[in-house]
Amino acid sequence: GLYAITPDLADTDLLLQKVEAALQGGVNMLQYRNKLANHKLQTQQAREILPLCRQYKVPLIINDSVKLCLTLDADGVHLGADDGNIAEVRARIGSDKILGASCYNRIDLALSAQQQGANYVAFGACFASQTKPNAVVASLELFEKAKNALNIPAVAIGGITLANAPQIIQKGTDAIAIIQAIFGANDVKLAAQQFSQLFKK
Catalytic positions are: 33, 102, 132
Under a CB-based contact definition with an 8 Å cutoff, are residues 17 and 40 in contact?
no
Q: How far is residue 146's CA from residue 153's CA, in Å, rounded to a whole number? A: 9
99 CB contacts (<8 Å, ≥6 apart)?
76, 77, 78, 79, 86, 89, 90, 93, 117, 118, 119
Burial 58-90 (b: 16+ CB within 10 A, else e): bbbbbbbbbebbeebebbbbbbeeebbebeebb
CA geometry: angle at 119 spanning 161 and 88, to 5°? 120
Inter-CA distances, 143 with 3, 40, 85, 107, 156, Å? 16, 37, 24, 9, 8
Under a CB-based contact definition with an 8 Å cutoff, are residues 177 and 31 in contact?
yes
